[in-house]
Structure 1
Amino acid sequence: MKPLTLAAVHGERSILSLIASGALDMHFQPIVELHDGRIHGHEALVRGPRGTPWESPDALFAAARRQGVEIELEIACVKAAVRRWAAHRQPGRLFVNVSARALVEAFCQLSAHECASVLRSHGLAPSSVVLELTEHEHVRDFGPLLGAAQAVHSAGMGLALDDFGDGRSSLRLWAELKPDIVKIDKYFAKGVATHGAKLQTLRALLQIAEVFDTTMVAEGLETPEDLKVVRDLGIALGQGYLIGRPAHAPAGRADEAACEVLRSRDIAVLPELRRVAHRGFTAARFIIDAPSVAPSTTHDELIQRFHADEGLHAVAIVEDGCPVGLLNRQQVLDRYTKPYFKELYGRRPCTLFANLTPLLVDMHTGVEELTAILTSEDQRYLADGFIITENGRYRGLGTGEQLVRAVTELRIEAARHANPLTFLPGNIPISDHIGRLLASGCDFVACYGDLNHFKPFNDHYGYWRGDEMIRLAARAFVTHCDPRRDFVGHVGGDDFVVLFQSEDWMDRCQHIIESFNERALALFDPQALAAGGIEAEDRHGVLRFFPCTTLSIGALRVRPGIFTDPDAVASAAASAKRIAKARACGLHVVDSGEDGGAAA
């Protein structure tokens, strides 16, 4: 090979000179099977000559674009990758990057049969080579590209779509090209262990991949936590610095840090997506198409309007399209039947006794602002209802009953996913996590925590301090659990669930109990602390003494093959909790493989 001089690098035809001299260097980065850690293949990554301005691929291709030889450089890179890969005689597949333009150009020069013959001449089976389509944002004419994709498959090679989801990708391209593999942009895998939105996006892409019968690759895996989450989601292949960095020679196995994660039977604690209270829910859902009246309408005319429409709970007073008042049906009828009202006020305008400061709600108002109405000082909306507007103009009426019912239903639904007091996962995520633990076949410990004598405390000091007690319990659980291995959920009220994979779970439970019991004392007044508790009514209304609030935990060791239903695990853990409370022992442990339990 003729050496490349620095003078040649800076020459007018320097990129073509570089190609002709064979100075392109190839590195290989491993791609692994996430279910067992085996090497699936390697991606070939070009490097320019060391010590030159083109050592990095970005600089190399930038120079090629300036000189108008970008496609020539791409095709040269594919040829260099095939030659170097064939020389290593490494098992697995070779992934090679190629732009849409270069792919179309290549198959204008070679037929599918000729392309397959070239690969075989290097000792490579066409099925061992995957062409990664890059820069697909430039595709304007799908016809030639679809023809090239068909040629790739006819040659027996695989086709991959690279960097899907980077903001320039096309779902249409995925659907029409029907690639064998789609590599998801590294943005979605990076930090997925702590970002619920990224997790949900990957889940959605997995569903799309299933529809199109496509294998997914998660790129950008750099931490054990992200790798574990991606593995548990069921994504088939992974690539990133944690698995292996680009190197001159292909890797025989993934790096040990990645292998350790992939060998582990522990499951990831998936991040929960904070469910903003139904962003699509607005006051527009409440609109009752109710007629309005003018400010000059008399009480006599108003009575006739109400008699003509028995379902009209109120009527808005509107002037020039804008609401200026509200009249409640029942109040108008009650006033009209009083002695002499008809004679004195029947022909007087209805604004005389109207609510001239009604509650006005724009139809685009979200549920968070609607919820605030429930706690406002002016509660007349419960009887009168409220007026719904759009840009200040009258659109219709809403009732207080509608508002209360809708907000309550939304809160109940949200609480099934995350408790509104502690923001910990609720019943549905708890059941989902138990199901994943059971499916993994690993040992784990399901703990059910409950506060002793909480109701008397709540009744005695009020729910504000009661809420603080519950938040204190939540902090104790979260503080002493490993967020990477242990799942903390809030069933509701003063009931908590912890699903431990940490081997030192018993010590963690003791720390949780001790921490809570000590800090909970600060919520009692000095008199109660001196007495060791409070006097309050029990569930039967009898006044008696209750000790200061403490925490009990029932722990269930779950062995593989004992349970198949998450509800059965939760029920057994709750039974252990009841024993802990009855014995006032703090922690009671039950082994699912034994009939009895042990108190600790």
Structure 2
Amino acid sequence: MSSHASSSPTGLSGIAGLIGRRHLRAVFQPIVDFEDGAILGYEGLIRGPAGSPLETPAALFAQAFEEGCTTSLEHAAARTCIEAFARLNCHGKLFLNFSATALRQLTDAGRDTPALFDGTLDARRVVIELTEQSAIEDLGEFTQIVDALRAAGAQFALDDYGTANASMNLWVRLQPDVVKIDRFFIHDIAHSALKFEAVRAMQHFAQASGARLVAEGIENEADLIVLRDMGIGSGQGFFFGRPDMAPAQSLPQETREALRADHIAVFPEPARRAAASRAGGSAPAEKMIVHAPAVPRRATNNDVLELFNRQPELHAVAVVEDDRPVALINRRAFMDRYALPYHRELFGKKACLQFANASPVLIEQSMTVEQMATLLASDDQRYLADGFVITDNGRYAGLGTGESLVRAVTEVRIQAARYANPLTFLPGNIPISSHIERLLSHDAGFYACYVDLNQFKPFNDQYGYWQGDEVLKFAATVLADACDPTRDFLGHVGGDDFLILFQSETWLDRARRAIETFNAGALRYYAPADRMAGGIRGEDRHGNPAFFSFVTMAIGCVRIAPGDGAQHNSEAIASLAALAKRRAKQESMGLVVIDSNDSAALVPAHGEPVAAAN
């Protein structure tokens, strides 16, 4: 043992002394079933002597690394946890952490059962967690170690999944019974779309492989509710309890109430770029490709003329060399030149590159819609008339037209706007409908509030679309501030129409505050003279002179009582909210609330159809 070890801070001859004198302590943290709040088991953790420099596990293992006895500490920690777990008569499973190296030394060729199981605790109550501390050099050999643990009755788990050595490769090869998601992905998942999507991907694979997921590091109710509602079955973290020498047999009342919370989580939405990619498909360039013959670089103008005459539908022809495009000849430009006197006689036998565009626009088949969209904003707009060349790994694949490019980008952007509004980045119609369906399927009570801006069109006509967009972004900011992001869902239907799905108990105060804040703040978007006049002058929809007051906010709300979900669908809810909105526009306070089951409230006013969306 090193001299450093012999003078350990505890005065107990280092880690070996702590182990020999049994000065290690076991503490336990509960692992909880989200469905009923039951404690499934505990993770056993190790601590050094209380109040000493080696009390924390980080300090213990750092010292053990210096002394070269990390594996011995792991084995001693496991024995300490097993003995304490049995002595305390804890129920459920005991989760124990091991590195690959420590697990390898637990199995002995001369033993039928790993050395860990000596009868103190039934092996069927133990879950062995493989930590990220060391890589596995020989997975084939390690699979035999896992098989031996399972043969003894224990279950096997991957710990800290998503970081370091915890990889998809291990999941596939070792087929764990349990996978514990690293706390990095869990912390703040209620507000992180990327973490949400990462955990959802793990969830899909867990369902395919039959593994149980445990979310580590849960510290607040918002993250818990998101995990619960997305279908993660269990978890652990400070929200349920800190590691303790005397583990509780049940959860505190406030924690059980959080698990039973009747509001439905608002899932974080992906960014607009991700929504556009999801709407656009994997290879949009493939959808607009025109399979057309090409001519070699040595071809003459007569060869090109013959090809155009033989295939009158071709808008252009590519010039290639070694299957790679080097130029593009537009049909109309070529034929116009050939129509001039003596051009065929003068240029017919000359190289076709003479009348070609030697720097055509090239689009790779794998190019995303966003990359293709940059062409629409470029200074060089020749591709709109000439078309462009589509390549596959740089080799000629076919042609495309400017018209097809504009159509493809437009269609994808329209589709993407259904997922996320490009102006406010708020969720669009598809996420709105999806969240309504989730609320209805869980029979959760909520208020569907349709938001509209009065006098917005005259303002837009007077001040222009740029200023109008600023007002819409201001409205989105005001509405977002009025929402609790963990309970209330805010979406942008389009134009000046928004939809809030309130679950907050203070929803009415929040709606009123949004109206007041917007109505006061909207004044700053008017010129001083218009503010003094109280509005703007313009023309009504019939072309007659009219005076329009300031832009104001109107909110029409529909109450969906708990348990009424089966009576409605997302389209009906949106239509009822639109009806309430139209009535709110007639009220001086700008706010109307109707009940979805109130037959009198559902009678259309002034003959308007209930199903109208605007």
CA 1:544/1:318 → structure 2, altered by over 3 Å: closer, same or farther?
A: farther
Task: Please give the residue correspondences for 1:289-368 in structure 2 after superposition, counting only pairs within 5 Å.
Answer: 290=292, 299-316=301-318, 326-337=328-339, 342=344, 358-359=360-361, 366-368=368-370
Does residue 591 (structure 1) correspond to residue 590 (structure 2)? The answer is no
Give the Cα–Cα distance (whole angstroms) in 1 for the partners of residues 141 and 362 of structure 2: 58
- Residue identity opposite 1:465 in structure 2: Q
In the alignment, structure 1 residue 562 sits paired with structure 2 residue 561: no
Is the contact made by 2:159 and 2:166 (CA closer than 8 Å) also made in structure 1? no
SS of 1:445 mapped into structure 2: strand
Distance change (3 Å), C-alpha of 1:340 and 1:515:
farther
CA contact (8 A) 2:452 2:497 kept: yes
Shift of 1:212: 2.2
Q: Flag the 1:180–1:356 CA change in 2: closer, same or farther, 3 A.
A: closer
Aligned length: 589
d(CA) in 2 for partners of 1:527, 1:318: 64
State the 1:224 CA deviation: 2.8
Contact 2:31 2:41 in 1 (8 A): yes
The answer to which of 6-15 and 254-263 deviates more is 6-15
Report the Cα distance in structure 2 between the residues aligned to 1:116 and 1:76, rounded to whole angstroms. 13
Q: Deviations over 1:33-86 (max 9, x none)?
A: 223433222211111234555333234334444545433332222221111122
Q: Give the deviation of 1:559 after TM superposition.
A: 0.4
Identify the residue that residue 535 of structure 2 maps to in structure 1: 532
Moved more, 11-20 or 147-156: 11-20
User: TM-score of the superposition, structure 1-length normalised?
Assistant: 0.86
8 Å contact from structure 1 (residues 104, 144) kept in 2: no
Deviation per residue, 1:65-121 (Å, 9 max, x gap)? 4545433332222221111122222333322222334334334265349976613xx
| Structure 1 stretch displaced more, 388-397 or 400-409 | 388-397
| Aligned counterpart, 1:45 | 45
> Would you say the 8 A contact 1:242–1:255 is kept in 2?
no
Structure 2 counterpart of 1:265, one-letter code: D
TM-score by length of 2: 0.84
Number of the residue aligned with 2:490: 488
CA distance in 2, matches of 1:444, 1:469: 28
Pair 1:270 & 2:272 matched: no
**In the aligned structure 2, how far is the partner of 1:527 from the partner of 1:292?**
64
Deviation sequence 1:362-418 (CA, Å, 0-9, x none): 667543342132234543322211345799997754311221122112212211211
Give the C-alpha shift of residue 182 in structure 1. Answer: 1.4
Counterparts of residues 167-566 of structure 1 (less than 5 Å): 167-254=164-251, 258-274=255-271, 275-276=273-274, 277-278=276-277, 281=283, 288=290, 290=292, 299-316=301-318, 326-337=328-339, 342=344, 358-359=360-361, 366-387=368-389, 397-525=399-527, 528-529=530-531, 530=533, 532-538=535-541, 544-564=546-566, 565-566=569-570
Taking the aligned partners of 1:543 and 1:334, their CA distance within structure 2 comes to: 52
Tell me, in whole angstroms, the C-alpha distance in 2 between the residues paired with 1:106 and 1:241: 31
Q: Is the 8 A contact 2:445 2:563 kept in 1?
A: no
Query: Quick check: 1:220–1:241 contact (8 Å CA) kept in 2?
Result: yes
Distance change >3 Å, CA 542–CA 550, structure 1 → 2: same
In the alignment, which residue of structure 1 is the partner of 2:112?
Answer: 111
**How far does the alpha carbon of each residue in 1:530-558 deviate from its partner, in whole angstroms, 9 at most, with x for none?**
263432251x6666554443222110111
Higher deviation after alignment, 90-99 or 498-507: 90-99
Amino acid at match of 1:572: L
Moved more, 315-324 or 158-167: 315-324
RMSD between aligned alpha carbons? 3.6
Structure 1 equivalent of residue 162 of structure 2: 165
- Does the 8 A contact of 1:137 with 1:170 survive in 2? no
Q: 1:155 to 1:374 in 2, by over 3 A?
A: same
1:32 Cα deviation (Å)?
1.8
**Distance (whole Å) between structure 2 residues aligned to residue 194 and residue 549 of structure 1:** 32
Aligned to 1:580: 584
- For 2:417 and 2:286, the matched residues in 1 are separated by 24
Q: CA deviation at 1:489?
A: 0.4
Q: Deviations over 1:166-204 (max 9, x none)?
A: 131233433443333211111110121221111011111
Q: AA paired with 2:70? A: E
SS in 2 for 1:118: coil
Instruction: Give the partner amino acid of 2:119.
Output: V
Higher deviation after alignment, 185-194 or 251-260:
251-260
Query: Which residue does the alignment assign to 2:80?
Result: 80
Match of 2:61 in 1: 61
Question: Which amino acid is the alignment partner of residue 95 of structure 2?
Answer: F
Q: Structure 1 residues 247 and 287 mapped into 2: Cα distance closer, same or farther (>3 Å)?
A: same
The answer on whether the counterparts of 1:476 and 1:516 sit within 8 Å (CA) in structure 2 is: yes
CA distance in 1, matches of 2:170, 2:500: 44
Which letter maps to 1:97?
Answer: N
State the Cα deviation string for residues 514-536 of structure 1 (Å, max 9, x = none).
22233333434456552634322
Distance 1:595 1:255, change over 3 A: same
Equivalent residue letter for 2:204: Q
Identity of aligned residues (%): 47
Instruction: Assess if the C-alpha contact under 8 Å between 2:124 and 2:155 holds in 1.
Output: yes
Contact 2:218 2:224 in 1 (8 A): yes
- Secondary structure of residue in 2 paired with 1:491: strand
Unaligned 5+ segments in structure 1 are none
Partner-residue secondary structure (3-state), 2:539: strand
Question: Does the C-alpha gap of structure 1 residues 116 and 384 become closer, same or farther in structure 2, counting only changes over 3 Å?
Answer: same
What letter corresponds to residue 412 of structure 1 in structure 2?
I
Report deviation, 1:219.
0.5
In 2, Cα distance between equivalents of 1:506 and 1:37: 32
Give 5+ residue unaligned stretches, structure 2. Answer: 603-614
* 2:599 partner SS: coil
Looking at structure 1, the residues matched to 536 and 10 of structure 2 have their Cα atoms a distance apart, in angstroms, of 86
Please state how far the C-alpha of 1:300 moved relative to its aligned partner. 4.4
Separation (CA, whole Å) in 2 of partners of 1:134 and 1:261 = 30
Indicate conservation of the 8 Å contact 2:240/2:251, yes or no. Answer: yes
Contact 2:213 2:233 in 1 (8 A): yes
Q: Distance in 2 between matches of 1:348 and 1:151?
A: 79
Aligned to 2:17: 17
Give yes or no for contact 2:98–2:128 (8 Å, CA) kept in 1: yes
Q: 1:55/1:113 Cα in 2 relative to 1: closer, same or farther (>3 Å)? A: closer
d(CA) in 2 for partners of 1:563, 1:302: 66
